[in-house]
Amino acid sequence: MKLARTLIVPATLAALAAAPLAPRAGAAGVPSCAAAQVSASFGGQGATQSLLGSVIVTNRAAAACLLSGRPVITFAGGPPHEVLREQATKPALEDPVERYSATIVLAPRHSASVLFQWFNWCDPQSKAPPTSAAAGGRRPSQVLVTLRPGAPAIVATVAQLRTMYLPVCGDPGAPSTISVSLWTPGR
């Protein structure tokens, strides 16, 4: 039986995600992207004991759709006591050359992405010392991306999920965290 991990969202991010966002110019009348019309891919590499990467969402439909807010990233396949806490990215993670936006109109066959950095993946029941391989959390079997609150999750394509780098367990008593940026077009 596959279980989705619990996701704890800080109050400020929850308020941002729930608040209606003013569409950018040209977005009037464009419907929100539905899970059935987009695909998602997840990838990254090890960076200072974390996983740094991006989630790319591509519109597979014949009509434009609207992405707004930050997506929620969760993992399936691990025990329910492993917790992932999502938060807004720190400005240092975001590329100063990129233009980030809370709202993007996604044209047919076009993509947009968010950056993420995932830290502290621990198995809370492990007795191994922190930073040892034995202290790490279980490898997820799926990465799920939810575009907006209440929407169905999209199962993301993950290149080499079985060998993907997992963040080091630095503090078994602390939750795992994943910082997620706003959208940037064209990745």
Residue of 108, 107, 90, 98 whose CA lies nearest to 181: 90
Whole-number Å distance between alpha carbons of 187 and 147: 17
Residue of 68, 171, 142 whose CA lies nearest to 112: 68
**pLDDT score of 56:** 94
**pLDDT score of 7:** 32
Q: Which helix (H) or strand (E) holds 16?
A: helix 11-18
pLDDT cut 90: percent of the chain above it: 20
Grouping H, G, I as helix, E, B as strand and the rest as coil, residue 6 is: strand
- The mean pLDDT of the chain is 75
Could you say which residues of the chain have pLDDT below 50? Answer: 1-26, 81
**pLDDT score of 78:** 58
Q: How many CA atoms lie within 13 A of 8 on its CB side?
A: 11
Residue 20 is given by DSSP the state: P
Q: How far is CA 63 from the centre of its chain?
A: 24
The model carries a pTM of 0.75
